[in-house]
Amino acid sequence: MTERPHILPPPPGGGALRRADEPGAAFFDLDRTLMAGSSAYQFGRAAYKAGLVSRKQLARDAWENLLFSLRGSTDAGTDALRVRISQLLEGVRVRDLQRLAPEVLAGVLPRLYPRMLAIAYEHQDAGRPIFICTAASQEMAELMAIVLTFDGAVGSVSEVVNGHYTGRAGGPFTYREGKAQAIRELAEREGIDLAASWAYSDSESDLPMLRAVGHPVAVHPDKTLARVAREEGWEILRFDRRRLRFAGAAVAAAAVGGGVAVSRARA
């Protein structure tokens, strides 16, 4: 069974993760918070090009990605996606999945929101470690954390036996309460004060995560999250996503090249 490595090695010349006077951290949902649309769809496109999924499956994922972009996540849709990915991974070599990294990054990086990255780096520069927290796979979460120089990642872990995915879960599904529980466990291990921490998300499904920290922030929230945020006095961020959607393209070329090195290093 795989283990979830939450903290990535510090960059050369990097210091401690936190200053003594900054005991908190900042947690960022990935889809529709750090990036436009769904990282799972970008994974599906890469898997299709590698021959792991059919054209019919890709078309269905494209439609669901459009719905996700317009309305956000639903419990039924997220659970169905988890089942499909588990079925897809059954019997696949870990190395083959790692080799999808450049193609996945080519789809994800241009869809990053520069304003959200700037906010994350402001937290990091203030001495708070920053984490990607997503229901997507641990591999996807770690890949994005490495490329974006986040301090770590929380994602859903799949079981691996003899270098192949079994199609079974290797840990909790990091969605709704599962994501909040993973963050609490990380905080306990790393000495993070959640009351002094921030969390960012677009979806009401992340209410457990948002309520686990002292500073919840709703990022262009769905209808339910917007209502809760107003009622509870949380900060709400909104910006013109159409203008910023592809502004991350400047970093894509260099990062995709880096993704090859990441894949080789982790193989």
Active-site residues, by number, are 29, 31
3-class secondary structure, 236: strand
Bridge-partner residues for 26, per DSSP?
130, 198
Nearest to residue 1, comparing CAs of 139, 162, 147? Answer: 162
Query: Do the beta carbons of residue 17 and residue 7 sit within 8 Å?
Result: yes
Query: Do the beta carbons of residue 102 and residue 263 sit within 8 Å?
Result: yes
Pairing type for strands 235-237 and 164-169 reads: unpaired
Question: Residue 9 gets which letter from DSSP?
Answer: P
Q: Exposure pattern of 190-213 as b/e (b: 16+ CB <10 Å)?
A: bebebebbbbbbbbbbbbbbbebb
